[in-house]
Amino acid sequence: MRKFIPFFLLCAISLHAEFLISDGDRFANLRLFLKDSVQIEKFSKNENYRNQNTITAGLFLNGLAAPNLSFKAFAEVNVDKASGVKYKIHDYEPYWGYPYDMLSDAHPSEDNGRTWAFFNARTDWQAMPYFKISGGYDYLSYGPAKHNKLTLRGGDFYWRAIQDTTDYAYIKRPVPTPFIGFDLELGIVSYSQHSMQLKNQKEYGKYLHAHRLDFKFVEDFSLGLTETIVYGSTPEEQRSVEVLYLIPFVSYTLAEAYTGDRDNKALSADFSWKLFKRFELYGELFIDDLYNLSAFFDDNWWGNKWAASIGIAIDSGKIGTFNWDYNFEYTHIEPWVYTHHKGLSSQYSHFGNSLGSDLGPNSREFYSRLGTSFKNILRLDLSVSAIAKDTALGGHIGDIHRDEDPTDKKYLDKKSTLHYQEYGAAILFKPFPILNIGAKQYLIFGEYKGHRTELFSRVIW
């Protein structure tokens, strides 16, 4: 038995300046910011504290170039200095996460530094009241989940004790994707379609196509159906964009046979039901692969890959002078979800990060968060999470099932599953419109039997 009580603390202070330029219906809003933050970690009594100081300078820009043409952009430059952390030289392979540069050409040491820039931008053209065209380099998310989106999570990023790499020095922040797409409103039905370029290896192309139908039969209830497909080049096979997947209203499930039945397709369904004005019940089912519907809960075949989540949310409930919100969510992810037998070229990832939940395959989470705010001055969040993560084969997004591997699957096998709890607290104080002061702290408690693992943390705030 191995017990651990990791400690994590992040503090930050941020200064802002905002400028507005307008001309009739056209305007541009520019916000500049400068942030200084410190991150402190410790994972055992015998380990020294390791800390990282980050200075960030950046900008937000959004506005209207015309009454029906909107734009937005974000950019930041970060400089990290660390003590007790070894930054390795990045070779710019995307599967190692977002790239960075060392501050010096010297051999990496305990007390070195790095710099990295981050940006995203998009333009939306409302060509007609019912038709919008979008493009840019940005995040895309599908589904109503608040904590663990299973299909496309967009820019959602939560600190995890267990991630997909054992080197905490790499930046695991979700990375935007170049994309182009459109949204079509047809009364109670709406249709959206997007095509994206993904990255996992420098030399090879990789693509994701997604389209979605939203049904809103009544004002407070909506149902969504989504198809996604991922494919890319390998050393043996060079591929470009499949034109068939660009055609609107073509089912990827049916079209995949035309392209040779070699791509990574997935289906998902979700719902959102607002029972009362501020109370929402929601759920999502993600089917990565399924032998047949009758074998949905059959553990005898590893290829039955699916995930599900359900949650409730209370938004802006006012009690006295405070606004309150609450979220509870349960997530269940079967073994081998998001993986693919072709590896990086077709697995459900971008820059080493899962496009769906960052829990990864063969995992489970009970999550609860309570937040309160006073006007626009003070914000407090408390969260607790119970996570189970299986580290055996089929529990990592990069795992590949081979012919000699077992054909059955074991969900959260007792011999290889890590159980731990995360307790988090965050406070944000805005004494003046131009000044933000905040802190986050996480404590993790758990035990792990029969296997050694390296625990680490990574957070960007």
Question: pLDDT digit string (tens) for 101-126?
Answer: 988 765 555 457 889 999 999 999 99
β-bridge partners, 287: 267, 306
Identify whether 461 is part of a domain. Answer: no
Phi, psi at residue 252, to the nearest 5°? -65, -35
- Name the residue with higher pLDDT: 263 or 6: 263
Asked if residue 160 has pLDDT above 50, the reply is yes
- Name the residue with higher pLDDT: 305 or 277: 305
Helix (H) or strand (E) holding 311: strand 305-319
Identify whether 385 is part of a domain. Answer: yes
Asked if residue 291 has pLDDT above 80, the reply is no
What is the sign of the dihedral through the CA atoms of 147, 149, 153 and 159? positive
Return the closest-CA partner of residue 200 out of 340, 393, 360. Answer: 340
Instruction: Name the one residue in this structure whose structure tokens are 């009758």.
Output: 294
Give whole-number Cα distances, 262 to 208, 231, 254, 256, in Å: 14, 8, 12, 7
Give whole-number Cα distances, 92 to 86, 120, 202, 278, 346, in Å: 17, 19, 8, 45, 20
Identify whether 117 is part of a domain. Answer: no
Return the closest-CA partner of residue 40 out of 448, 440, 451. Answer: 440
- Name the residue with higher pLDDT: 167 or 198: 198
Identify whether 47 is part of a domain. Answer: no
Full-model pTM: 0.90
Identify whether 95 is part of a domain. Answer: no
Q: What is the pLDDT of residue 43?
A: 63
Q: What is the pLDDT of residue 102?
A: 87
Identify whether 332 is part of a domain. Answer: yes
The number of domains in the chain is 1
pLDDT for 426-460, tens place per residue?
A: 899 998 888 889 988 878 777 543 222 222 233 33
pLDDT for 201-258, tens place per residue?
A: 999 999 999 999 999 988 899 999 999 999 999 888 899 999 999 999 999 999 999 9
Identify whether 378 is part of a domain. Answer: yes
High-pLDDT (> 70) share of the chain, %: 88
| Rounded mean pLDDT, 281-304 | 85
The CATH number for 242's domain is 2.40.160.130
What is the sign of the dihedral through the CA atoms of 443, 34, 324 and 364? negative
What is the sign of the dihedral through the CA atoms of 385, 388, 394 and 396? positive
Residue 204 burial (CB < 10 Å; 0-12/13-18/19+)?
middle
β-bridge partners, 115: 79, 101
Task: Please answer whether residues 147 and 329 qualify as being in contact, where contact means their C-beta atoms are separated by less than 8 angstroms.
Answer: yes
Identify whether 257 is part of a domain. Answer: yes
Asked if residue 26 has pLDDT above 90, the reply is yes
| Rounded mean pLDDT, 381-395 | 94
Q: What is the pLDDT of residue 88?
A: 81
> Do you know the residue count of the chain?
461
Print the domain residue range for 142: 129-448
